[in-house]
Chains A and B, each alone.
Chain A
Amino acid sequence: MRTAEDRTASEALAPDALRSTAEPSEARHARRLGPAFWIASAWIILVVLGALLAGVLPIDSPYALAYTPLAGPSLHHLFGTDELGRDTFSRVVYGARISLEVGFGSMVVGLGIGGTAGLIAGYVQGTFDAISNMVANLILSFPALLLLMAVVAFWGRAWWQITVIIGVIAIAPLFRVVRASSLSFSGRDFVVAAKALGATRWRILTRELLPNVLPAAVSISLIGVALAIVAEGTLSFLGLSVAPPTPTWGNLIAEGQSSIARSDAWITFWPSVVMFLTLLALNVVGDRLQHRFDVREGRL
């Protein structure tokens, strides 16, 4: 039932590989990561460090109600304050915690389960492949956000529960991508050679296939991190994620949105901008890495 995805999974690797053999100069160009990649990486590292070290950094508590409400940006409050007089900059920095925990955590779950299953399914094929394909199809037969909302509503809205659910949803697409590339590598000469030399299945999977499949899988999961952050943000925005007063980017945007009528756009503006830059950076890094690894494959 899923023709389009079948194609995107297998074609994800193909077009650039073709292009690189046809035009070597362009291939060399694609191999370079470029300045955009480094700027984007620096931003991601900055956001991650900010979230990790928020408690140690000389910034206000995100819960302190100590300041003039709805103040504009100033030297003391870079992003201004919200309607309860809390420092918006500090709330944005702390808000990154939930987004990053959910974003990276869910990809660890998704890649751990989906990636492992995909690696094995692509190599051994047969019954295991058929069953895991069916499971992936079933997960995909539910609209993702609906599934997320429904399970959160019935099960619970702690950050780890949201992480697990997004991770489970991510299993399906990651499984497909990894399975497709594992399948294509399985037929390559070096795998056949290893098999002829009497390598065990375990050895072929971990020593031959895994190192080849992993780079592309990781770069795709970086784009997955961005999607997971959007999913958590949407949930937060609708008031269905981690409960206030814990700041999250989604609930900050929602809070500001309800007070914009009083011409205070800052509260929505800052978390939106930080979120936009982070998502853009994750997409750029994931995209560049994916191109780089595809080219390497095509040049072999």
Chain B
Amino acid sequence: MIRFVGIRLLQFAGVLIAVSFFTFLLVHLLPGNPAIAILGPAASKQAVQSLDRQLGLDRSIPAAYAVWLGHTLTGNLGRSLITRQSVAGDIARALPVDIELLVGSQIIALAAAIPLAFLAARRPGGLLDEAASTLTFGMLAIPSFVVAVIMQQVFAVHLGLVPATGFTPLTTNLAGNVKDMLLPCITIAIGSVTTYMRLLRADLIGTLQEDFITLARAKGLSGRRILLRHAFRPSTSSLLTVAGLSIGGVISGAFVVEYLFSLPGVGEQAITAINQHDYLLLQGDVLVFAVLFVLANFLVDLLYAVVDPRVRHAHG
């Protein structure tokens, strides 16, 4: 187990370095001289030089990356080019919204997917199973932004059950926060439910054909007990892996949902930054999401090994 964790830690560090290097390089994609592209053609020579220094454009790329990484690791992501606020501070204010969306949407998605998968797996090919798989196939063809628009129109605008836009921080008013976040979380969850359900259903059906299930059945255990106690456990590991990978989907969902429901999260901040050409803030936002994604997958890998002993032994 220790060796397994060690190998994974090394891989994790390698991916983090690659991801951060790429994020650092983004500024160099700007056409022409990045500093002039950011400040505009009317900028003074002094301002351009000072920004050059700040972005490390006066150094070679490896040297500039080293300096940038040093600053980043100490929490200094520079200052916003528009508001002059610290980028790290801006992100720290926005990030809780995303964490809430992430946790909330995944809880809702699992709470819906697990019972549905059990029902479908009990009679493969039955009416419920067929209906569920048709629905899943259809859901693949509905982009998340269309789902978001429909949800907002139906539940917020027409039925008026929850506010259409706006955000109340968790610490200010719990009930208000739940009201504001419920619809965005459900919207993101809809995207994950079908994936989770399809996977868990296939896994359960596979497990139910194993010999130990036949044995349990021969011993006269009830169908429900077999499903819950014997078939579900081996399936949790693949569910975990997919949950990790679907963090990417949740991040894209967060952009759409924050934009549409006006939630002050990192996604909304990044879109505003793009429109205002606030490149340093955008770079910070990209870095935070990318690190979150890599970290989530790393943690999932570790959990995967905890749940399924075959994994840690296979890798030494």
Binding site for B on A (CB under 8 A): 1, 3-5, 137-138, 141-146, 149-151, 153-156, 226, 230, 233-234, 237-240, 250, 253-254, 257, 260-261, 265, 268, 272, 275-277, 279-280, 283, 287
Q: Collect the chain A residues with CB atoms within 8 Å of residue B248's CB.
A: 143-146
B274 touches A153 (CB 8 A): yes
A233 to B252, CA, bound (A): 12
Q: List 6 A-B contacts (CB under 8 A).
A: A1-B297, A137-B15, A141-B19, A234-B143, A254-B145, A279-B141
B141 touches A153 (CB 8 A): no
A153 to B273, CA, bound (A): 9
Decide if the interface of chain B is mainly helix, strand, loop or mixed: helix
Chain A nearest Cβ from B188, distance in angstroms: 13
B18 in the interface, Cβ–Cβ < 8 Å?
yes
B289 in the interface, Cβ–Cβ < 8 Å?
yes
The size class of the interface chain B forms with chain A is 35 or more
B282 touches A150 (CB 8 A): yes
A238 touches B140 (CB 8 A): no
Q: Collect the chain B residues with CB atoms within 8 Å of residue A226's CB.
A: 140-141
B157 touches A141 (CB 8 A): no
A287 to B173, CA, bound (A): 48
Q: Collect the chain B residues with CB atoms within 8 Å of residue A138's CB.
A: 15, 18
Chain B 252-267 against A: per-residue CB contact (8 Å), 1 yes, 0 no? 1001100110000000
Q: Mark out the residues of chain B between 280 and 313 whose CB falls within 8 Å of any chain A CB in the assembled complex.
A: 282, 286, 289-290, 293-294, 297-298, 301, 304, 311
Check A151/B242 contact, CB under 8 A, given A138-B18, A279-B140. no
A-B contacts, CB under 8 A, total: 130
A240 touches B138 (CB 8 A): no
Q: Mark out the residues of chain B between 127 and 179 whose CB falls within 8 Å of any chain A CB in the assembled complex.
A: 137-138, 140-146, 149, 153, 157
In the complex, which of the residues A3, A226, A280, A287 has the most CB atoms of chain B within 10 Å of its own CB atom?
Answer: A3
A234 touches B144 (CB 8 A): yes
Beyond contacts A230-B144, A275-B146: 20 other A-B pairs, Cβ-Cβ < 8 A, are A1-B11, A1-B12, A4-B242, A4-B245, A141-B297, A142-B290, A142-B293, A143-B251, A145-B251, A146-B290, A149-B255, A150-B282, A154-B26, A154-B29, A154-B282, A155-B29, A234-B144, A238-B145, A260-B157, A279-B142
